Structure formats: structure tokens, C-alpha cells
Amino acid sequence: MCPSRYSKTLVVLTLFLAAGAAAYADFSTLPTLPDGGRVRPVNRYFDVTPRVAPSDTETTIVIQPLFDHVRFREDCKYELAYTALDQVYSDKSPFRIKPKPVTPVDNRLTLNFFLAGEQEHLLVLEEINGDKRRVMGEFRIYTVRDDLLPLRPFKGDFHMHSNNSDGTESAAYVAGACRRVGLDWMALSDHRKYAPSAALKDAFQNVPIDLRIYPGEEVHSPDNPVHIIAFGHNAAICDLYLDAAEAQARAEVGELKDKLENVPEGVSKFQYASCRWVTDKIHERGGLAMLCHPYWVTGGAHNIAEPLLGALLDSRFFDMLEVVSGNSSAEANGYDADVLQASRYAEARAGGLKLPACGISDSHGCESNETFGRNFTVCFAPTAELADIQGAIKKGNCTAVEIMRGERPRVEGDFRLAKYTLFLLREILPQHDELCVEEGRLMIDHTAGKPDAVNRLKSCQGQVKALYDKYWAVK
């Protein structure tokens, strides 16, 4: 009699639980990375390639033990069970749930099989020695469609401050700390100041680093409570409205205000026009504009009036929305603005909003800020160069990540990308982050004037690219 679907599922569930126990034994005691993540033991003990593969394609998967305690033994037999997280299968799949005998050769296991759909796949490997069985590992692979396969996940933060405004550390220290927490790209956004971010890249001129450093600025235009981040622009916005330039800026905003039609009731026409003026100036200078922390409480109220927020979301002025902000645990326990922002964002998306979601730390001190390195944006792009990062944001190929509370990631954005991001945060990005720690530390050493830092940084170059080249399949 053929086994029922229920009994097949029970077999896999048993293996899954056993694998989980093996993979996560003492997992909570392992060293944590700056964002609270940990490299799963199975990803330390084995090299599995690829970990990201094309969907609906036959793929060669290689499982390679790295240490004697997990090496394949000639006196043992091995079985592999397979299931797909979304239960999307294909007639071309060589096996689905039932454990299947497999034979390692030269201490490696090579599997050729068809992986259906865009989803996560679970492989559970058991070792059989007589009547004894043990789970060697639980391996996870993600398949993506052709549009995502050439792209890589690059972590970044572009809302943070140095001692040039109200932050604690120097700009160069902030950059080193960004790499130390696993960021691939960053932008300083001091209040009403563009120059510190523009000069920051020069501080690492001819220094061999992989962190990409871009211009940024937090814009506070006159009599407008809406904070706007300018990212990747080529000239200052603040210089257009500060001091002697204020009168001209107000006049230009006034002209825009006079042309407004059909502004919703309760919306300040001046503030609405001011946001249009700022975002226009950012776009003219090659930058992207982000609407910041709409549910931040200041002076006993949200800093953006709800009618104005609704109008701005409908306006299409902005390129992105700050959905994950820099709220500490204490602030969140009292009033969780991020929950409101995420809910408001979801409601707006359901109504047709296409604005990408971004996550930032709003750090004012890298060594003291609870969200630094734990709130960030993941951009799916060919490289971490500015044009590719801006292009990814414009296309909505980004997610907002928050890992601060309870060390459990929360991801906001497109559902398809959120699923993929969660897989990466668990299976690949912890190893990525480990490679970044030393580079960041040496960048800080270079900032402190240590003469050997530059030579030692050379050995760190290209490590993340090599990791990604190994784990991503090329179709």
C-alpha cells in the first residue's frame, strides 16, 4: 500500500524537528553579530553551493563537509529528505518528501535535481550506521526567478548623524562603524549639512575598502515640519534655504503654493508646497528623496499632521518612505511609531501606493544607539554602486529591516522580497556580516592614524563579492 500524504508529511516533520534540534543546539549561546544575528552551525560545518539558484531549472547542489566531525564515512549510509516551503513541486522533481538514499563521493555529496518555483527548499541529511541514525544537517536553498537571480543583497543606511550636527562621533568613525556592523553602502545625513557627507568619501580616498560612501543630508526647510532625507545628490539642498537664501526659497515655495489646486481639507498648502520644492531640488541634483519618520512624536504630537501625510503619500513627490525608524526599545515600549508606520504603509500599498519601504537607524552615536546596525535597508542590485542602489530603490527592489527587538527580524516591503530577505538574513547575511567586521575595525584604526591599517585592509577587499559569487548560481 502506498504511504498516504499524511504519513509522508509526518516523516518529514519528524526529520525537520530532528534537524532543527541538531542545527540549533545551544544556538542561543553562540556569538552574536552586531545586528543580533548568528551563523547557523550547519552553515559553519558544511559548504553548500549554490544557496541561491534559478527557479524551475535543474540545478547541481554540492554538500561539502568542512571538518572531521561531519565528514562522510565509508562505513555509513546516507539518506536525504526534501520538501519545499511553499509546497510548490513539479513532475520534474526527482523526489519530494520521502527520504532517498544518496552516495557521497570523495567526501562530498553531489545532487542534480529540478527545483520548482520561487521558494525556500529544505534538504535534511541523515547518517545511518547499523540501527543508529543521526541528522547531519538541515540545508536550505532558495530559488528565484530570472529577474532576481543576477541581483545581490546590499545592506545600507542613509539616515545617521555625526558630530558635525548632533551626533557623537566623527564622520570617518561613523563610516568605519557602518562597515563593522555589516553595511555595504552608507550616507551621512547631518541636519541641514551636506558638506560632511560629501567630504567623507575623501577621508578614505585611495584606501582599499569595499564600503560604498555616498552623499546625504537631512533637510528641514523653513516652517515645514516634514523632515526629508536627500540621498546620493551632487550639491547641497540646505544652501538653497539657509541664511541669505531663505527669502528666495520662501518666494519659490509661495509660487508653487499659489498654483496648487484640489488640496485636501486640513492640509497646509505652504507645507505641501515646501515638500514639493525640496523634492524637486533633490531630483534636480541627482538625488532621491525620502519622507522621514511620519509617526515620530515630538511636542506631544506626530510631527506630520495626518491630512498632510495622506496628501504627501498621494502626491508622488517622494522616492521612498521611512517605514522602519530609529526608535529605541524604551521608546517603542512607550509608543511604537514603527508599527503605525508599517500599518499605514500597508494600507497605502493596498490602495495602490508604489513607494518603496526603507529602514534606517537615525543613529546619533554608533556606540550608544540601539538601532545602529539593526535597522537598515536591503537593496537588490547588480552592485553597490550609487546608480545601482538608486535604481533598485526606484524599482522597489528593496526591503526595510528591523532586528532590534528580541533579535527577531521584521521585514517590510513587497511580500516576495520580504520572504527572500528573511531567508538571506538567516542563511547568508550572517556570514557576510562576519567578513565586514574586520574591515570596519581597520577603517576605524585608519581613522585613528594607525599606520598598518591600510596594508591590512587590502586583505579584506573582495571578500563579500567572493562569498556572493560562490553562493549564487549563474544561469
Residues 360 and 435 in one domain: yes
Residues 315 and 335 in one domain: yes
> Is residue 474, in this structure, part of any structural domain at all?
no
Domain end call among 116, 144, 172: 144
Residues 111/115/121/122 CA torsion (nearest 10 deg)? -30
Residue 82 has pLDDT above 80, yes or no: yes
Domain end call among 74, 109, 144: 144
Residue 44 has pLDDT above 80, yes or no: yes
Residues 123 and 161 in one domain: no
> Is residue 77, in this structure, part of any structural domain at all?
yes
CA dihedral sign, ordered 127, 129, 130, 133: negative
Residues 137 and 164 in one domain: no
Q: State the CATH number of the domain containing residue 124.
A: 2.60.40.10
Residues 15 and 52 in one domain: yes
Contact predicate 240/222, CB 8 Å: no
Residues 443 and 316 in one domain: yes
> Is residue 198, in this structure, part of any structural domain at all?
yes
Q: Which domain covers residue 206, as residue numbers?
A: 152-469
Phi-psi region of 337 (alpha: psi -120 to 50; beta: other; left: phi over 0): alpha
Residue 28 has pLDDT above 60, yes or no: no
Residue 232 has pLDDT above 90, yes or no: yes
pLDDT the model gives residue 18:
42
Q: What is the pLDDT of residues 104-114, one digit of tens each?
A: 999 999 999 89
pLDDT the model gives residue 174:
98
> Is residue 303, in this structure, part of any structural domain at all?
yes
Domain end call among 84, 111, 144: 144
Averaged pLDDT for residues 78-99: 91
Q: What is the pLDDT of residues 148-191, one digit of tens each?
A: 999 999 999 999 999 999 999 999 999 999 999 999 999 999 99
Amino acid identity for residue 39 in this structure:
V
> Is residue 475, in this structure, part of any structural domain at all?
no
Residue 115 has pLDDT above 70, yes or no: yes
Averaged pLDDT for residues 28-39: 77
Residues 201 and 60 in one domain: no
Averaged pLDDT for residues 204-221: 97
Residues 173 and 217 in one domain: yes
Residues 391 and 361 in one domain: yes
Amino acid identity for residue 265 in this structure:
E
pLDDT the model gives residue 457:
97
Residues 78 and 132 in one domain: yes
Q: Which residue has the higher pLDDT, 314 or 23?
A: 314
Residues 100 and 131 in one domain: yes
Average pLDDT score, the chain: 92
Q: State the CATH number of the domain containing residue 160.
A: 3.20.20.140
Residues 211 and 131 in one domain: no
* Total structural domains within the chain: 2
